Amino acid sequence: MSDSVRSTIVSQFGQVAREQNRKLAPLSDDLVLMDSGLDSLCFAIVVARLEDALGFDPFGVTEDARFPVTLGDFIKFYEDAAK
């Protein structure tokens, strides 16, 4: 499951970057999301796509969820919600 969440997230980052003509920084767990090359709209799209792809939206569950800072946080946030 973890692997599939991670790979779905990574592939969405690439897909949205291509659609929005953004240059995506090399993805690593300590990459700060705001330095990834994606803007807010891109992240909004990534979250919406992940909801359809994974069947859940971790942000919808916790009202006060803070948006993850690094890619590693982001993936962990989704992996925790998938458990």
Partner 1 sequence: MPQNDAMSLWESLSASAGHPGRGIWAPTSAVRLHDLLAGSTLEGRLEELRGRSALILARDQLAAALALTQIDGIARRLVLCPPDLDAQHIPYVMATAAVDAVVSDLEPADFAALGAERFIQCSSAVTPAAISRGKQRPTEWVLFTSGTSGTPKMVSHSLSSLAGAIEGGGSLGGAIVWSTFYDIRRYGGLQIFLRALLGGGSLVLSSTEEATADFLARAGSRAVTHMTGTPSHWRRALMSGAARRIAPHYVRLSGEIADQAILDNLRETYANARIAHAFASTEAGVGFEVEDGRAGIPANQFSHPLGGVELKIEDGSLRIRSARTAMCYIGNESTALVDADGYVDTGDILELKSGRYYFIGRRGGIINVGGLKVHPEEVEAVINRHPRVQMSLVKSRKNPVTGAVVVAEIVLKSAPAPGDPTVENAGVKSEILEDCQRALAAHKVPAAIRIVPYLDVTPSGKVARPNA
| Residue 19 vs 80, nearer CB to partner 1 | 19
Helix (H, G, I), strand (E, B) or coil at 18: helix
Query: x/- binding map, residues 19-58, to partner 1, per CB under 8 A?
Result: xx-------------------xx-xxx-xxx-xx------
Let me know: does 77 contact 46? Beta carbons within 8 Å. Answer: no
- Rounded CA-CA distance 78/76 in Å is 5
**Could you list the residues that contact partner 1 (CB under 8 A)?**
19-20, 40-41, 43-45, 47-49, 51-52, 59-60, 65, 67
